[in-house]
Chains A and B, each alone.
Chain A
Amino acid sequence: EAGVAQSPRYKIIEKRQSVAFWCNPISGHATLYWYQQILGQGPKLLIQFQNNGVVDDSQLPKDRFSAERLKGVDSTLKIQPAKLEDSAVYLCASSPVTGGQETQYFGPGTRLLVL
């Protein structure tokens, strides 16, 4: 079974530019998460989707970050405009929905450097 796919793996941009990240979850997984992992810290949730609906975006900086999951499969996370403090690894994870607490499966992440 294919895992969670993310692209690009690395991105370097200048501040005030925009950037987009893509995630393809494991087939059949209804729940999708985006996490931000700043160097030396644990991942922190940005947004959670179930199918194509947003479950939790309370920690998403909505003045510059946006995310969508059209058709309940792939998802895109965008930053516009980027700031220096956005340098981090952006992790996508997915899990099935079966009524219990399901394991989350993570992609390899996109490493963003903002100069």
Chain B
Amino acid sequence: GNSVTQMEGPVTLSEEAFLTINCTYTATGYPSLFWYVQYPGEGLQLLLKATKADDKGSNKGFEATYRKETTSFHLEKGSVQVSDSAVYFCALTPNSGNTPLVFGKGTRLSVIA
């Protein structure tokens, strides 16, 4: 079956620190991979995505590269801000049309000034 494993939180960083949130997946075929973010009191928002191996998704300074050989899609940002404090979810869909997302458990990030 399809599943996503991401690092446990919470993660607490100082402003301008480097961020990595690990995500690995198990899937049949060639899934599409996503990072969603949930800011306090808000709904899930797509942060970035990649649909095939070696693709790099990027948005708002965040990046993640689809690594088929290690079945990973780690999220990185070079310099975090207090406004990046949120819960981050790694997710996948089988790459076969409109199908439901399979989510990891989420990682809570707190950035302190």
The chain A residues found within 8 Å of chain B, CB to CB, are 4, 31, 33, 35, 40-45, 48, 50, 56, 91, 93, 95, 97, 99-109
Interface residues on B, range: 20 to 34
The chain B residues found within 8 Å of chain A, CB to CB, are 4, 32, 36, 42-46, 49, 51, 89, 91, 93, 95-101, 103-106
Do B89 and A42 touch (CB < 8 A)? yes
Do B42 and A41 touch (CB < 8 A)? no
Do A97 and B105 touch (CB < 8 A)? no
Partner pick for A45 among B32, B43, B100, CB 8 A cutoff: B100
**What A residues does B45 contact at CB under 8 A?**
106
**What A residues does B89 contact at CB under 8 A?**
42-43
Partner pick for B106 among A42, A93, A101, CB 8 A cutoff: A42
